[in-house]
Amino acid sequence: MKIVFKKKRSFRGLPLPENKITAEKSIENLPVPEKVVIPLQQNIGASCEFMVKRGDIVKTGQKIADSEGYVSAPIHSTISGKVLKTIKMVNPVTSNVMDAAVIKSDGEDSRVKCKKLFNINESDDFFGLKRIIEGIDKEEVLKKIREAGVVGLGGAAFPTHVKLKPPPEKKIDTIILNGCECEPFITSDHRVMLENGREVLMGLYIINKLLSPEKVYIGIEDNKKDVIEHLEKLIIRMNLEGLFEIVSLKSRYPMGAEKTLIKTITGRSVPMGGLPMNVGAVVNNVATAKSIYEAVIEDKPLIERVVTVTGVVTNPKNLKVRLGASVSSLIEKCGGYRDEFNSIIAGGPMMGISFTDTDFPVTKGTNCILVSKRKLQDEQNCINCGRCVDACPMNLMPLIYVRNTKKKNFKVCREYYIDNCIECGSCSYVCPANIPIVGYIKTCKSELSKK
């Protein structure tokens, strides 16, 4: 039975220089840090409230914060030790002030014990697990996923249990596992698929059980041929042929964006302002699938993730990191800086956020730390060349936004559907005048949301 399908035609995207220098590097563990800083706002949605206070003793995997909000996920301590203090810090994504807990390790890393959903023997192979998954209670599993604090690990960090529980009137017929990793430099998903392919597929199997769709696709860009082959073999070995289908996609940025991925694989366009479930699709990242598996089967909350540390560091690596470890400890593990640098980016070079403070912690959404030397050029006049219009995957006219944001005509931007912008950065990337178009768009969007 055919498992891998090739999509020849794709949306018009940008071919980017890949720079995936860590693609061959196996995931290494970062030692359990001495101290972690855990921000309480790590995902889209409501900010969490503390459940512990200064001086409390916590264990690894213990819930330290939660929220009543529907779109929210709890936050766990990633090491065992003592809560030193609670601090305020600036969320680099939203620029809001948020709370954070500083926890000092006791060096034991003792895990919190909790009730397991199933009794699993060490000897249970995949088929045993498959039988167990067949018999699960959906509500209980969803609760488990929420309690484990699982959020989308692709970058946006949307709480996963919300995605997996669509309103009953929305019929989900397609699940897409997103293994595109279309941003340059990042290889964390690549390595997870290669080294934890089994867990990823099991996680997908759980998602499949929860939503019972008609089609399950695994979308992978064709620059990761090794992953496609590996997963194909695994699917055969795990007897999942006919259920999961691997779609080999052309490497074009931003293929991994939800909307473009759904469009490329199913041909459906998510309506403006809508969610993937409006067209009957749910998209999950591969690392998310892995953490769903860990939450449901291994009873392990989301306390660590794989981060690619790359750029001008001595030894670029893929590191498995406890959340809350400081960025500087990651860079140190990679041998420090190799060369002059002037920018540190959390996330990929296209959508990542640059920051100055290397004490900043790794959060659930951090998939990459990129240290780079950047030549800043001055912004020049827009010459109306239309390259941004051609590059936009959402078919928008970015130059109009720049022009009108400069004139403070924010409402005009809305007439040109600025809300549909996914801020992928393609327009700024191609702009010959080096205009930070996305910056203008963000300014305009925040002005519009104020009114």
Closest separation in Å from C-beta 159 to another protein: 23
Closest separation in Å from C-beta 349 to another protein: 4
Which residues lie closer than 8 Å to 7 by C-beta, 6 or more apart? 247, 248, 249, 250, 264, 265
Of the two residues 51 and 353, which places its CB atom closer to another protein in the complex? Answer: 353
Of the two residues 29 and 342, which places its CB atom closer to another protein in the complex? Answer: 342
Of the two residues 246 and 327, which places its CB atom closer to another protein in the complex? Answer: 327
Contact 105, 70 (CB under 8 A): no
Closest separation in Å from C-beta 242 to another protein: 31
Closest separation in Å from C-beta 248 to another protein: 23
Which residues lie closer than 8 Å to 108 by C-beta, 6 or more apart? 80
Of the two residues 74 and 184, which places its CB atom closer to another protein in the complex? Answer: 184
Of the two residues 329 and 428, which places its CB atom closer to another protein in the complex? Answer: 428
Of the two residues 377 and 449, which places its CB atom closer to another protein in the complex? Answer: 377
Of the two residues 221 and 299, which places its CB atom closer to another protein in the complex? Answer: 221
Closest separation in Å from C-beta 260 to another protein: 8
Closest separation in Å from C-beta 271 to another protein: 5
Of the two residues 52 and 90, which places its CB atom closer to another protein in the complex? Answer: 90
Closest listed residue to residue 195, CA positions, set 121, 271, 287: 287
Q: Peptide bond preceding 432: is omega within 30 degrees of 0, i.e. cis?
A: no
118: three-class secondary structure by DSSP: coil
DSSP E strands in 299-351: the ranges are 304-311, 317-322, 343-346
Residues that bind another protein (CB under 8 A): 16-17, 184, 259, 263, 269-272, 274, 341-345, 347, 349-356, 370, 372, 374, 376-377, 379-386, 389-390, 393-397, 399, 416-417, 420, 423, 425, 428-430, 432-434, 436, 438-439, 442
> Tokens 């039975």 belong to which residue?
1
Closest separation in Å from C-beta 280 to another protein: 14
List, in sequence order, the alpha helices (H) in 40-187.
Answer: 126-134, 138-147, 160-163
Closest separation in Å from C-beta 373 to another protein: 10
Joined together, the tokens standing for residue 350 give 């296209």
Dist. CA 341–CA 337, nearest whole Å: 8
Closest separation in Å from C-beta 256 to another protein: 15
Contact 199, 294 (CB under 8 A): yes
Of the two residues 134 and 169, which places its CB atom closer to another protein in the complex? Answer: 169
Of the two residues 29 and 395, which places its CB atom closer to another protein in the complex? Answer: 395
Measured in degrees and rounded to the nearest 5, phi and psi for residue 237 equal -65, -35
Closest separation in Å from C-beta 202 to another protein: 33
Of the two residues 86 and 443, which places its CB atom closer to another protein in the complex? Answer: 443
Closest separation in Å from C-beta 238 to another protein: 35
Question: How are strands ordered across the β-sheet holding 343-346?
Answer: 27-29, 317-322, 304-311, 368-372, 343-346, 353-355
Q: Which helix (H) or strand (E) holds 50?
A: strand 49-50
**DSSP-assigned letters across all residues of 238-293:** TT-BTTEEEEEE---BTTTSHHHHHHHHH-PPPPTT--GGGGTEEEEEHHHHHHHH
Contact 27, 318 (CB under 8 A): yes
Other beta carbons within 10 angstroms of residue 24's beta carbon come to 12
> Tokens 């949306």 belong to which residue?
11
Please tell me the chain's helix, strand, coil percentages from 3-state DSSP, rounded to the nearest 5: 30, 20, 50
